[in-house]
Structure 1
Amino acid sequence: MESLQTADVTALIMESYELSTMINQSREVSEYLQAKQAMEEDAEVQRLLSLFEKKKEQYEDVQRFGKYHPDFNHISKEVRELKRTIELMDSVQAFKRAEERLDELLYQVSRTIADAVSETIKVPSNNPFLEAKSSGCGTGGSCGCSVKKH
């Protein structure tokens, strides 16, 4: 029988620093930071985000009364339209795409580490399709991923 060796925690932490350095030097991080800076320097995006914050406060005020507030429909529509306008801005779309690519990289690294330990370890992701492709729900629910059959 093979004896188990425990990992040297210090070595493990040092390796994790190397991995984080590699990730920080990746194309995905570089593109993310460039896209974030471009979005932050986009005057129109910043103007609309500021306006959105004000509209969101108005929306929260009318939310207390719900559909019975006289301005509920008007404010709700303005917030939705403004959000959509912001989402369609080129610099915002570029940022979202770069963010998704970085999230995918981080998920794949996390998934690789988790799978090396056990395929049943859950790895959170901002992308529900990635989580669905992983090792099941992990809750033992209707998918049966962790339910033992007797």
Structure 2
Amino acid sequence: MIATMEYVDILDRSEQLGKMVLDSDVMTAYNNSQKELKEDSEAQRLIKTFKDIKENYDDVQRFGRYHPDYSQIMKQVRASKREMDMNDKVASFKIAERNLQKLLDEISEYVALSTSEEIKAPKDGAALSDSGCGCGSGGSCGCAS
């Protein structure tokens, strides 16, 4: 068990680290791009359209290519996603989100490696795994986990 004062010191330092992340330029850029995304009616319309089509896609996925609407839904999903991703506000938000995730991954890796070389930390937004995939399916998805 960690001594009480050591425990308090660790908590204080982790609060300081959290505040540093919240006050960082990366977090500011993320918050600004998120705000702009939420305020952009065209981006919100594209996101809603994609989510609506995605619901149909999820239903079709249960039956795969044997579903009568499989080809049509697959084309709609791809077209809708492409249109959504091409929107400036959506693209800016995704970049800011990726940058924030990278910062958090770097912090996690630094803390983990400072503790022990044996501790694994997420990389590139992936969950913990040897391959970095982290899908948890045991490799059935085609990754190397």
- Which range, TM-score by smaller chain? 0.7 to 0.9
CA 1:111/1:53 → structure 2, altered by over 3 Å: closer, same or farther?
same
1:123: how far off? 0.5
1:81: how far off? 0.7
> Which letter maps to 1:80?
R
Residues 103 and 125 in structure 1, CA contact (< 8 A), matched pair in contact too: no
TM value normalised by structure 1: 0.76
Structure 2 residue aligned with 1:82: 80
1:127: how far off? 4.2
1:41-69 Cα offsets, whole Å, 9 max, x none, are 11111111111122112222333333233
Structure 2 residue aligned with 1:65: 63
Structure 2 residue aligned with 1:148: none
Q: Are positions 1:30 and 2:28 aligned together?
A: yes
> Which letter maps to 1:19?
L
TM value normalised by structure 2: 0.78
Q: Which moved more, 1:6-15 or 1:29-38?
A: 6-15
> Which letter maps to 2:55?
E
Structure 1 residue aligned with 2:122: 124
| Segments of 4+ moved more than 4 angstroms | none
> Which letter maps to 2:96?
A
The Cα RMSD (Å) is: 2.4
1:49-93 Cα offsets, whole Å, 9 max, x none, are 111122112222333333233221011100111011111111111
Q: How does 1:1-150 map to 2 (within 5 A)?
A: 8-127=6-125, 137=131
> Which letter maps to 1:49?
I
CA–CA distance in structure 1, aligned partners of residues 50 and 131 of structure 2:
36
Which residues of structure 1 form unaligned runs of 5+? 139-150
Give the SS at the match of 1:121.
coil
CA 1:99/1:31 → structure 2, altered by over 3 Å: closer, same or farther?
same
The count of residues paired between Structure 1 and Structure 2 equals 129
Which residues of structure 2 form unaligned runs of 5+? 133-145
Structure 2 residue aligned with 1:144: none
CA–CA distance in structure 2, aligned partners of residues 54 and 104 of structure 1:
30
Q: Percent identity?
A: 37
1:137: how far off? 4.9
Structure 2 residue aligned with 1:142: none
Structure having the higher Rg = 1
1:81-108 Cα offsets, whole Å, 9 max, x none, are 1011111111111111111111111111
